[in-house]
Amino acid sequence: MTTVSLTRTTLVVLVALPGLVLGTAGIFHPAHLTPEDAQRWRDIHIVALPLFPLLALGPWLLARQAHPVAGWVALLLGYTYAMFYTGLDLLAGAGAGQLKLVDSADLGTIFDLADALATVGVWAYLLASVLAAGVVLWRTGLRALPGALVVGAASVSFLDSHIYWTRGVLTMYAFALGWAALAAVLPLGRPAGPQAASASASLPGPG
The number of residues in the chain equals: 207
Q: What is the pLDDT of residue 188?
A: 87
Confidence grade of residue 199 (pLDDT, cut at 50, 70, 90): very low
d(CA 140, CA 148): 11
Q: What is the pLDDT of residue 177?
A: 98
Q: What is the pLDDT of residue 153?
A: 98
Q: What is the pLDDT of residue 107?
A: 84
d(CA 108, CA 113): 9
Predicted confidence (pLDDT) per residue in 126-172, tens digit: 999 999 999 999 999 999 999 999 999 999 999 999 999 999 999 99
Cite the DSSP H helix spans in 49-166: 57-66, 68-88, 96-101, 107-140, 145-161
Q: What is the pLDDT of residue 108?
A: 85
Give the mean pLDDT of 187-201.
54
Q: What is the dihedral of CA 62, 157, 162, 67, to 10 degrees?
A: 10
Give the mean pLDDT of 30-35.
93
Residue 197 has pLDDT above 60, yes or no: no
